[in-house]
Amino acid sequence: MSNEFNFSIKDYQSDFKPTWCPGCGNFAQWRAIRQALVELEIPPEEVVLVSGIGCSSHMPNFLNVYGLQTVHGRGIPVATGIRLANPELTVLVYGGDGDIYGIGGNHFLHSCRRNVDIITIVSNNFVYGLTTGQASATTPIGTVTRTTPRGSIENPINPIAVAIASGATFVARGFSGDMTQLTNIIKAAIDHRGFAFVDVFSPCITFNKKQTFAYFRDKVMKVEDFGHDKEDFHSAMDLANRRILRNKLPTGIFYQIENTTTYEERDFALNQGIIPAKTDLELSDEQINAITEEFY
């Protein structure tokens, strides 16, 4: 981090104005991410934001950081490669429920267990927006969408429970209708050592007439308001599986443990302080001898 930090939230914004439908939940996240970076004083050149495909995945177009949009569902592995290549960077993944829980589901599982220090933020709107309203992995059973005109007949996944069960060390949920809380969650996620996962209730005002801002406002409840112990695995699971507060939708940090090592701390090169992106290409005589000896 640089000594003199004089960036404002505007400095993290590109000249390209967001193309989302006016009123889309993604706008709040666009703001919250920038706000968190400013408050944490992370200069734009040290931030890489990686996305996939979908409405939300357009995000890096609208930011003035190193932004990389991948193909559908592949943000997490590309971000992982970036972080391992240069652990000095703050690496965020941003995508939708279709992108990260659907087509990218396998990477999501493995990033949870792997504990590479990247931050994954999912704009969860329970529907496919960009392809004009089909069922997604989080669409509740019975929901009518363009691919489920008689109502969805599949159970949705529970991303919070999946993340905790898969070994994620930071699991949280935000709501696009609560900027302050969302910003604080993203800040905590960036500060967290290891993989951090934030699911965000983010209404799609065009294709989802059920999970609207009003719907969430009525249902959300902050975990801090009822004294949740975020370090306790079982309380976190109970909360995620709605064994408690059945009629509410809890937001905040469900689960966070700091007393475990990250992938970077376990890796045999990175734990020596090596930064692959800054390493000489040339091998030393000693290295050449080491790698060729077995062939003599």
**Footprint of ligand SF4 (CB under 6 A):** 20-21, 24, 26, 55, 125, 129, 204-207
**Backbone phi, psi, residue 162, to 5°:** -60, -45
Which residues contact another protein (rule: CB under 8 A)? 14, 16, 19, 43-46, 48, 50, 53, 58, 60-61, 63-71, 73-74, 76-86, 88-89, 106-107, 109-110, 267-270, 272, 274, 276-277, 279-283, 287-288, 290-292, 295-296
Question: What does DSSP assign to residue 102?
Answer: I
Residue 261 C-beta: closest distance to another protein, Å: 16
* Number of neighbouring beta carbons within 10 Å of residue 73: 23
The single residue listed with the structure tokens 């994620």 is 168
Whichever of 163 and 236 has its CB closer to another protein, that residue is 163
Whichever of 21 and 221 has its CB closer to ligand SF4, that residue is 21
Residue 28 C-beta: closest distance to ligand SF4, Å: 11
124 interface partner picked from ligand SF4, another protein, none, CB below 5 to 8 A per type: none
Residue 25 C-beta: closest distance to ligand SF4, Å: 7
Residue 26 C-beta: closest distance to ligand SF4, Å: 6
**Long-range CB pairs of 264-267, under 8 A, 24+ apart, other chains included:** 264/83, 264/84, 264/87, 264/116, 264/117, 267/84
The single residue listed with the structure tokens 């091998």 is 283
How far is 56 from 44, CA to CA, in rounded Å?
A: 20
How far is 122 from 128, CA to CA, in rounded Å?
A: 13
Q: Are 120 and 107 in contact (CB under 8 A)?
A: no
291 interface partner picked from another protein, ligand SF4, none, CB below 5 to 8 A per type: another protein
The single residue listed with the structure tokens 């695995």 is 233
Go through 20-49 and write b for each residue having 16 or more CB atoms within 10 A of its CB, e for each that does not: beeebbbbbbbbbbbbbbbeeebbbebbbb
Whichever of 3 and 268 has its CB closer to another protein, that residue is 268
Beta bridge pairs of residue 95? 122
21 interface partner picked from ligand SF4, another protein, none, CB below 5 to 8 A per type: ligand SF4
Whichever of 12 and 201 has its CB closer to another protein, that residue is 12
83 interface partner picked from ligand SF4, another protein, none, CB below 5 to 8 A per type: another protein
Q: Give me the DSSP letters along 173-242.
A: EEETT-HHHHHHHHHHHHHSSS-EEEEEE---TTT-SSS-HHHHHHHEEEGGGGT--TT-HHHHHHHHTT
Whichever of 111 and 125 has its CB closer to ligand SF4, that residue is 125
Residue 194 C-beta: closest distance to another protein, Å: 17
Whichever of 106 and 147 has its CB closer to ligand SF4, that residue is 147
Residue 220 C-beta: closest distance to ligand SF4, Å: 19
50 interface partner picked from another protein, ligand SF4, none, CB below 5 to 8 A per type: another protein
Residue 177 C-beta: closest distance to another protein, Å: 26
Q: Are 113 and 195 in contact (CB under 8 A)?
A: no
